[in-house]
A = this chain, B = another copy of it.
Amino acid sequence: MNAPEPNVGPRAGPRGDTAALRAANTARVLFEIRRRGETARVDLAQALDLSAATVTAVVGDLLARGLVLESDTRATPGRGRPRRQLALNPAAGYVAGAKLNAGSVTVAILDFVGSVLADAEAALPGPRISAEAMVDALLVAFEEVLVRAELSAQAISGFGLGVPGFVERDTGLCHWSPILCDATPFNIAELIGQRIPCPVSVDNDANLATLAELWFGHGRYHRDFLVVTVEHGVGLGVVIDGRLYRGARGLGAEFGHTKVQIDGALCRCGQRGCLEAYVADFALVREAGAALPGQVLPTSHTAVIALLAERARAGDEIAMSIFRRAGRMLGLGLANLLNLFDPSAVVLAGARMRHHALLMEGIEQAVRANSLNTDRPEVRLETHRWGDGLWARGAGALALEAMT
């Protein structure tokens, strides 16, 4: 039996001293203002179950710190003292959000509200490169985006980066990434921090998409939800009780290598039957040969898939069946997730969701066929066809989180 370790026990409710109490209530007020966009103090008091006096005090702090602005927009014409509308101050701080892709890096600048002010992209020297080369490209894009946003590097108070693979937010360690070829684990946050003059946070890219939903998207209205990303791989983000769950060891949930078939198709990871082996880029490309006979296939996966999608939309039965099977496998995996997590919403996101219509038929069929139908209301599958903005905003949320 293990030795008793501290910090295990009830987590609900307050803990610690009164300063923590104030800090928590301040965070709640800030979150609620972000969620509503614009509100009065009365509404905050009611929504958060705080007294008006407390809200006044907390908002007073936030106003003094410049995080919140009081606007004069006259909301409801009526009797009584008019409510003063509160909103986040966009200029309270600027953060950079970046995403590492197979052949490029994207960097965006976000203001405190979460609006994207500018973005920029830089090519990577290859699909699998050293972290050193990645940071070089990152800096190129960063300089560019600063010019476009008309900001100096000193104005940026946080830098967030999304990396595919196993990345630990708390420590900044990269344990494995399909894009980086360095010996692992190495501290990627530190590496970037040496060349950028502000705090750097890194996280798994699916977690970032989830943060984006939590801060700016559907997640604002759900306590427990899942975000499934479909791109080169399949990713998963889990929100439980309003917070992103990263697992006991901080690496987050891994959905792509969940097995949907015992001794099934061979996956890049060397195992068999992984969900990715049916849904990821390489899996579709593997089958594309049959659907496009006699054609010379493009070298890039993305281009092959675009071609395949075009055929499927034109009614090509073989091409359609490829997407249908991928959808069914994804749907099977989703059904398992629904049974295990019982979320109140599921968001499908990522570049592949551009072929939404092609996949959706298979997905919905498999979800219906494989999830238990109790009398609980059916879970809505929301789809987000956000492009890179999704990742950038998530990385921005990561930086904002580190900021407040």
With A336-B258, A336-B259 already in contact, the answer to whether A249 and B376 are too (CB < 8 A) is yes
* CB of A216 closer than 8 Å to a CB of B: no
Q: Is A64 an interface residue (CB 8 A)?
A: no
Return the contact of A13 from the options B14, B166, B249, B341 (Cβ within 8 A). Answer: B14
A7-47: CB near B (< 8 Å → 1, else 0) gives 11111111111101101110110011001100000000011
| Interface size class, chain A | 35 or more
Most B Cβ at <10 Å: residue of A18, A339, A343: A339
Whole-angstrom distance between the Cβ of A143 and the nearest chain B Cβ: 34
Residue A2 at the B interface, CB < 8 A?
A: yes
- Check if B254 sits within 8 Å of A10, measured CB to CB: no
- A236 at interface, CB cutoff 8 A: yes
With A and B bound together, what is the CA distance between A374 and B241 in angstroms? Answer: 28
A14 touches B8 (CB 8 A): no
Are B253 and A341 interface neighbours, CB within 8 A?
Answer: yes
Minimum Cβ distance to chain B for residue A62 (Å): 15
Residue A72 lies at the interface, judged by CB distance under 8 Å to chain B:
no
Shortest Cβ distance from residue A153 to the other chain B in the assembled complex, whole angstroms: 30
Chain A 231-260 interface mask (CB, 8 Å, partner B; 1/0)? 000001000111101111101111101111
A246–B377 alpha-carbon span in the complex (Å): 16
Task: List, in ascending order, chain B residues with CB within 8 A of A251's CB.
Answer: 342, 374, 376
Given A175-B376, A242-B8; A15-B14 close (CB under 8 Å): yes
